[in-house]
Amino acid sequence: MNDLSKSLKGRDFLSLKDFTPEEIFYLLDLADELKAKLKKGEPHPILAGKTLGMIFTKRSTRTRVSFEVGMYQLGGYPLFLTHEDLQLGRGETIADTARVLSRYLNGIMIRTYSHQDVEELAAHATIPVINGLTDFLHPTQALADIMTVREWKGKLKGLNLTFIGDGNNVAHSLMYGGAKVGLNVTIACPSGYEPLPQVVEEARRIAAANGSQIAVTNDIREAAEGADVLYTDVWASMGQEGEAEKRRQAFKKFQINSELLKLAKPDAMVMHCLPAHRGEEITDEVMDGPQSAVFDEAENRLHAHKAIMAALM
Ligand code: CP
Ligand code: NVA
């Protein structure tokens, strides 16, 4: 075991902020390696005999299927646990759930609303806890996104990634992750929908140490100019359904369409964490066009999640 693989064993994966650039590059290299092995049909049962519990209080297609299939491909066993089926749904505490699940499992992946709940679960679990999305962060997504940018562009340092839309969980994780690997990240959002100031400040501090820049603007045209990557996400996230109409008004200009894409570099790639609301934050033409990386990005969730599980568990 080298020093990096030793430093990752047993750790939680709650935020990319908690990992050094070297650790993130180690995970990216491992994800590439596992992807190559899968494509060659080479078995890689790194987690034989191990189990992952997957707790969901929100819906999921990509995260659920990629973790479940990924665990199977690594030789382990995944358990899909909905919040309602667990005693958690009847009031058993997060701390007790963590203590009990730690006696059976080798890792937990959780998708829920409150980031504090995930931190509490991790604090009381003696096994790695992986954040599969909270209202605050979506770090497994950002790792797969960075993998996809490197795959398409052959590098990361100095590239300009512009996120068009809400300063949400995905934007926050792209800011932390981008800052760690030397991507310049610009968030272009309507006034009042900026990323949290605390994240902007921390990401700027991290970026300064890695030679990159973090910017926030309300001007999408300026933000799109010279972009190597144009990224977007839904205008209303899970849990914000009640604000959907208000947000539709506020975000109507914050769309990746062919006109906006023309402002970016000619070889710019387009990304979306999915699920997409086609015709809102992205047009069909762009999403199905030659510059769209969205389905490679979705595929890379599988490889990135396998790297996270293989390294931590
Ligand atoms: N991008 C993403 O996390 O997708 P799911 O909500 O389908 O898991
Ligand atoms: N921001 C979105 C991402 C979904 C993967 C949400 O939280 O609903």
The 10s digit of each residue's pLDDT in 196-219 is: 999 999 999 999 999 999 999 999
Q: How confident is the model at residue 166 (pLDDT cuts 50, 70, 90)?
A: very high
C-beta of 223 in contact with ligand 1 (< 6 A): no
Structure tokens at 4: 């990096």
301 is an active site residue: yes
C-beta of 169 in contact with ligand 2 (< 6 A): yes
Query: Which is more confidently placed, 84 or 16?
Result: 16
pLDDT value at residue 83: 83
| Span between the terminal Cα atoms of the chain, in Å | 14
For the stretch 36-47, what's the b/e string if a residue is b when 16 or more beta carbons lie within 10 angstroms of its beta carbon? Answer: ebbeeeeeeebb
Most ligand 2 atoms within 8 A of CB, residue of 56, 138, 294, 297 to mutate: 138
CB 14 within 8 A of CB 119: yes
Q: What tens digit of pLDDT does each residue of 281-300 get? A: 999 999 999 999 999 999 99
Q: In this model, does residue 306 exceed pLDDT 80?
A: yes
Most ligand 2 atoms within 8 A of CB, residue of 168, 173, 282 to mutate: 168
Q: What tens digit of pLDDT does each residue of 234-246 get? A: 999 999 999 999 9
The whole-model pTM stands at 0.98
Query: Which is more confidently placed, 301 or 1?
Result: 301
- In the block, tokens 């990323």 appear at 195
Full set of structural domains in the chain with CATH? 3-137+300-312 (3.40.50.1370), 141-298 (3.40.50.1370)
Nearest residue (by CA) to ligand 2, atom 6, is 237
Separation of alpha carbons 69 and 78, rounded Å: 8
